Amino acid sequence: MNIDLQLKNLNDLFPSGFSEEQKAKAKTIFLKNFSQEAHRFYRGKMQTIPKCGIYGFNWFNIWYTPGVSKISTTIRENNDESFALSNRGNLVAVISDSTRVLGDGDCTPPGGLGVMEGKAMLMKYLGGVDAAALCVDSRGADGKNDPQKIIEFVKMVQNSFGAVNLEDISQPNCFKVLDDLREACDIPVWHDDAQGTACVTLAGLINALKLAEKKLNEAKIVLLGAGASNTTVARLIIADGGDPSKMIMFDTKGSLHNDREDIKNDKRNYRKWELCEKTNPRKIKTMEEAMKDADVLIALSSPGPDTVKREWIRSMEKKAIVFVCANPVPEIWPYAAKEEGAFIVATGRGDFPNQVNNSICFPGLLKGALLVRAKKITDGMAIRCAHSIADYSEKRGISPENIIVNMEETDLFAHEAADVAQQAIGEGVTRIVISRDEVYNQAKADIASSRKLFDDLKKLGHIAEPPAEMFETALAKAIEEVTSKQ
């Protein structure tokens, strides 16, 4: 069995008699099982190493006491010096209460560590940004998750970080946590599930509409799922020129419209109520009716593959655009959507064409915010990042099977950082002002340094290759499980 260490030949390793659906299921099972064994092998994904020289034990007199006293008193006189005299200026806190981890729901506070460490790894490898995973217990004395506990925690730790990335916090708590902290904190607070997903979805939609020869302000858009991600997608689409009267959103109880008293009366759902007031003026009630002649479907709902029905896709307008981004399994398999006439299909997974995943957004966006010591990340910065991704993708060439860049296109992140930084400077939310070229060059250098560090650790044997038996066992289990269900 010849398994490529880059995992690029997985489809070739499954039995020739497997259908497309069986291959898709087997890949998902393999990736989950192999992930568990790889995490156990490495005992997690991240570690802490110094970035300064230690040339003998006397250097601890410089890096620690007594020399470091000068650092403390300098920062005391000017807190902004903490960004230059410590790692704060390149450090992000990845904070979660693990109440909505991917598509797996509440995983208990430590259950989110795998995802939060993964986020930290992506920031380091793709954006040259250091990050720490912090999974907190937000439950109050009554056993219920209390958003105020997360808010107070972030406010207390903000002086140690240059930015905060919120992750996997269930709705409606996530809305209050983000909105309160954006105002209360003096550093950027970014909810990647919401803002990052919205940013990259908008980027993909911009290019998909170009390929379909359609305009954003004329497109009929159906949004399936009304959680933090999709409500923010809708908000950014509207802010960027989408027509809310041509948009229809669905949650688990039906479509959103201004007769939804259940949403209106629950003050925690104020973001959803805003969309009830703006969208679906005809008060269309069913997905079947909403999908008829729709130009775009954006699904961020329950994992599939049967959440989105084939007949819904079949009823859409010509050159239909279908984003099915649930994790770990999309709401409908891409091949099935294509069979029903979809022109462009995108998912959140990297093993299908058109990955619409925030991994191509947050590393560059946060890097840009950090380099200008931004005080917040505005919707304008997120929209600028979306256009940066779309523009970069278009310049290198797009097609129905390749609407936006992927994370292997390294130069994207430095361009994102530069564009976002300039937007932040223009909006007056930064501590320092530097040119676009300075941001781009520094981001590019930091990313290259981070990549080289990973490579050197592997070459020098500090990171061992996983044994071949680990691949073979995970693959055999996946094939056996799919075969046994025939």
Which DSSP string corresponds to 166-215?
E-S--TTHHHHHHHHHHHH-SS-EEEIIIIIHHHHHHHHHHHHHHHTT--
* Cα–Cα distance for residue pair 212/196, rounded to 1 Å: 24
3-state DSSP assignment of residue 164: strand
pLDDT of residue 289: 97
* Cα–Cα distance for residue pair 96/385, rounded to 1 Å: 24
- For tokens 């003096």, name the residue: 186
Out of 64, 70, 452, 458, pick the active-site residue: 64
pLDDT of residue 223: 98
DSSP code, position 67:
T
Q: Identify the segments of the chain with pLDDT beneath 50.
A: none
Other C-beta atoms lying within 10 Å of the C-beta of residue 391: 14
Out of 119, 124, 246, 376, pick the active-site residue: 119
- How far is the CA of 232 from the CAs of 2, 37, 192, 300, 476, in angstroms? 43, 35, 11, 11, 40
Do 57-191 and 213-342 share a fold?
yes
Q: Is 119 a catalytic residue?
A: yes
Q: Tokens in use for 294?
A: 């729709």
Domain definitions of the chain by residue range: 57-191, 213-342
- Residue 451 C-alpha from the chain's centroid: 20
* Cα–Cα distance for residue pair 74/62, rounded to 1 Å: 15
Terminal-residue alpha carbon distance, the chain: 24
Fold topology of 57-191 = Rossmann fold (3.40.50)
Beta-strand pair 296-299/321-324 = parallel
β partners of residue 164: 93, 189
pLDDT of residue 1: 60
Q: Is 125 a catalytic residue?
A: no
- For tokens 């209360």, name the residue: 184
Query: Alpha helices of 9-80 — where are they, by DSSP H?
Result: 10-13, 20-42, 60-63, 69-77
CA angle 361, 366, 368 (to 5 degrees): 105
Q: Does domain 213-342 have CATH number 3.10.100.10?
A: no
pLDDT of residue 8: 82
- How far is the CA of 477 from the CAs of 11, 28, 127, in angstroms? 15, 12, 35
* Cα–Cα distance for residue pair 304/1, rounded to 1 Å: 31
pLDDT of residue 440: 98
Beta-strand pair 247-251/221-224 = parallel
DSSP code, position 269:
G
